[in-house]
Copies of this chain bind each other. A is one copy, B any other.
């Protein structure tokens, strides 16, 4: 059911008028999964598409997967390629949002200086934007999620790794080298002080990230201590923590205390009034409740509010859609002047 679209220079594809009320693609490129959404000019999602990226480290191969997904989405919505007016993609690593170059990702993708925007514009013939995936999740929560109306807040993505999307004065703070919010390496009491390789999980991730939680669980696991299996996931462990399962409770307590310390430190620096917890591990209500409990005990002068993501797994994709809509508007404005 997919159709191949022809490509060409962006400027020659259509007149400015045709951009109005057209469609955009938002993409969330993960180390294990690629997710796409087709949205209309209001940001409403008309269709979704996803596939595995496990073992796909080549950026051109990812773009080919995106081509497949975009064609399928357009076909399902009975739209032509000319209906697309822009796209935006989130990449799992440090990204130059100006040039659209992904500077570095973790070992899962292993990208270094990948000109992703250029690749996307060449493939799809529409203006594209690229940003770090956690920054896009922050944009998603800001525009349509838990952080609407907040000019300063921090989105914390806790999954396999940990990253922060920082919004100050209504804009994402990306840092001088696009590396702001890389808090997975933060040093708080209880984490390993040993310097780690740049491509390896950071000190904080070693305790609060999904893999770190599983490692802690497995190091303490015995049949006499829990009814959960030795290969339980972070989510399964947290599901059992609030009850009487003492090992699950112990693992939750370490993760939440360590996460609370990271939030406390970030709050001391930024004095942002809101922290939004997201990501596959961070979205768990037990983690949010336990972390808030530790934060409240510290009685900081400036106590940030801690809430869960309103968009959940859709945060990145939602941010990508809004970025694509902004990209279309900017290009339209440039074309008209």
Contact = CB atoms under 8 A, between A and B. Distances in A.
Interface of A: 94, 104, 152, 164, 166, 168, 173-183, 185-191, 193, 195, 198, 261, 264-266, 268-273, 297-302
B301 A175 contact: no
A195 B298 contact: yes
B261 A182 contact: no
Per assembly, the copies of the chain total: 2
Contacts of A300: 185, 198
A182 B178 CA distance: 24
Nearest to A195: B298
Given A152-B176, A173-B168, A198 B273 contact: no
Contacts of A177: 271, 273, 302
B272 A175 contact: yes
Contacts of A298: 195
Contact of A270 (B175, B188, B268, B299): B175
Contacts of A297: 195
A152 to B, nearest CB: 5
Contact of A187 (B183, B264, B272): B264
B195 A164 contact: no
B271 A270 contact: no
15 contacts: A152-B175, A152-B176, A164-B269, A175-B270, A175-B272, A177-B271, A179-B301, A181-B271, A182-B271, A185-B264, A186-B268, A187-B188, A188-B265, A189-B189, A195-B297
B176 A273 contact: yes
Nearest to A175: B271
Contact of A271 (B104, B178, B189, B266): B178
B193 A189 contact: yes
